[in-house]
Amino acid sequence: MHNNKWLVPIILTTLLAAIFLPLIYIGYSSIKHGEDELAAQKYAAAADSFSRAARLLPWRDDLWEQAGIAAGNGGDTSRAIIFLKRAPQLSEQGWLMLAYSHFSSGDIPSALNAYQQGLRSFDSPSLYAGLAYMYRQQKNWSAEMDALKNQVRLDAGGVYAHYRLGLLLSFLEPEQALTELMLASSLDPQTDSAVQTLRSALNISAAQPEPSAQFVTIGRALGLVQEWDLSIAAFEKAITLNAENAEAWAWLGEAKQQTGQDGSVELDRALTLDHTSITVRALRGLYWNRQQKYSQMLAEYLLAAEYDPTNPAWPAEIGNAYFKRGDISAALIAYQQATDIAPTDSTYWRLLAVFCADNNVHVEDIGLPAAQKAVELAPDDPFALDTLGWTFLASGRYANAAIILFDVTKRFPDHLPAHIHLAMTYLAQDDRAAAFNELTFVRDADLNGSDGLFASQLLDKYFP
């Protein structure tokens, strides 16, 4: 009787052990498999193993996070979100992966929320960096600025964070911008060119008495460093300060075009406010050029030249407009007028020479002397030297062209047009091997650029 009293519990315990011990063993074995698969970068398999272990070992709720991180690393963001949401709490890495997975799925609000939740537990520069990027996607510039301030507070060595913060401060808190920009420049010299552009603009704007004009100057600098989204914000701020600022409206139209918008409404508004503004006319000329409406383009530049007759840029643009309309004779006269206005500026002699060489008009009597004058004025300018070689080629002086262009490619190896012109010279001399080498150099050096594309086209044509 006494033995029967313990018999039932023993049997039940044995049965439960027989059921659950194998499951527990499988669970821990799955963890080991997951760790091995993770080390081997077999992320999908690791996610399967960790999620299996999480189901078998419910007290190990950390396994859901491991499964989610593995799934995310493997690119399966849908499973990553499911697994990470099952975890009762997440580490910093878990919040980063959850936010990244939402963003990769196109759900920016959920990604933003994940970064914000993670920051409630972790004062992390990585989380602030992600938060800043989400605000950037939403064009919430002030919120992005605040996130970046926290990021650099925690990580003073982040070059891009300092640079980006400087960009935002330039139009949100201009007096604070230079500190961040100069710090970025000191950390990475590659940012120096853009930083100097912005530094000059900030110094100029600080001396301007009219606040609206200050933000036009800053917006133009942001455009020069290819931050057109931010330049829109600067120009809009300029308009808020002075809705009658025609240049602000014109530059806003240009910035919108640069970001894929139309911009014509803003340009028309600018014209209404000041029809004699050279800036307005110039930017409208650019607009019509992009629309391939060259008669309207010509009209804008003719007016710009009338309002600003001593500026050689306008006859040069007039020449370009005439050329695009197919009026070669008028274009040639316009380019010559530019050199008359600026006889000591190599740029306009070079443009005249290029026009003659490209169109095979007056190469001997106008184009070649113009190219030689450009080099005389700027003997170390690769553009002028390249133009001289190109003009020699257009005139049939292949040996002269080869000497000039070979020298340019050695002195200025990054000036890719000279390599293309040298290759074309070699082709004219029937030196196919040398031409092939120059073209492949350009193609490989500029895979996604216009020079690389042109070199590829020439390779396909001459070396099929």
- The per-residue pLDDT for 40 is 77
Q: Token digits for 8?
A: 């039932």
85 within some domain: no
329 within some domain: no
Burial code of 284-314, b = ≥16 C-beta within 10 A, e = fewer? bbbbbbeeeebeebbbbbbbbbeeeeebbbb
Within a 13 Å sphere around the CA of 48, how many CA atoms are in the beta-carbon half?
6
**Secondary structure tally for the chain: helices H, strands E:** 26, 0
Non-local CB neighbours of 262 within 8 Å, separated by 6+ positions: 256
310 vs 306: CA distance, rounded Å: 9
118 vs 100: CA distance, rounded Å: 12
Burial zone of 222 (CB within 10 Å; 0-12 exposed, 13-18 middle, 19+ buried): buried
Nearest to 255 by CA among 278, 275, 276, 225: 225
442 within some domain: yes
81 within some domain: no
301 vs 322: CA distance, rounded Å: 11
207 within some domain: no
Residue tagged 């000041």 (tokens): 274
Per-10-residue mean pLDDT for the chain, 464 residues long?
52 48 51 70 79 73 84 89 91 95 94 96 96 96 98 94 98 96 94 95 96 98 98 98 98 98 98 97 98 98 97 98 97 98 98 97 97 98 98 97 98 97 97 97 95 96 94
CB atoms within 10 A of CB 22: 11
Non-local CB neighbours of 303 within 8 Å, separated by 6+ positions: 281
Alpha helices in 208-276 (DSSP H): 211-224, 228-241, 246-258, 264-273
377 within some domain: yes
- The per-residue pLDDT for 296 is 98
Q: Are 80 and 71 in contact (CB under 8 A)?
A: yes
Q: Token digits for 37?
A: 């698969």
The structural domain count of the chain equals 1
401 vs 390: CA distance, rounded Å: 7
The radius of gyration computed from the CA coordinates of the chain, to the nearest angstrom, equals 32
Range of the domain at 406: 349-464
How far is C-alpha 220 from the chain's CA centre?
Answer: 16
166 vs 215: CA distance, rounded Å: 15
Q: Reduced to 3 DSSP states, what percent helix, strand and coil does the chain have, rounded to the nearest 5? A: 80, 0, 20
455 within some domain: yes
> In Å, how far are 189, 300, 395, 414 from 194, measured between CA atoms?
10, 31, 40, 20
- The per-residue pLDDT for 21 is 42
63 within some domain: no
CATH number of the domain residue 447 falls in: 1.25.40.10
In single-letter form, the type of residue at position 419 comes to H
What DSSP state is assigned to residue 89? S
Non-local CB neighbours of 255 within 8 Å, separated by 6+ positions: 219, 223, 228, 231, 232, 235, 263
Nearest to 201 by CA among 232, 177, 226, 183: 177
Nearest to 279 by CA among 342, 206, 322, 219: 219
How far is C-alpha 65 from the chain's CA centre?
Answer: 35
Alpha helices in 105-210 (DSSP H): 108-121, 125-137, 141-154, 159-172, 174-187, 192-207
184 vs 92: CA distance, rounded Å: 27
445 vs 334: CA distance, rounded Å: 36
Q: Token digits for 223?
A: 């455009």
45 vs 47: CA distance, rounded Å: 5
User: At 86, which helix (H) or strand (E)?
Assistant: helix 77-86
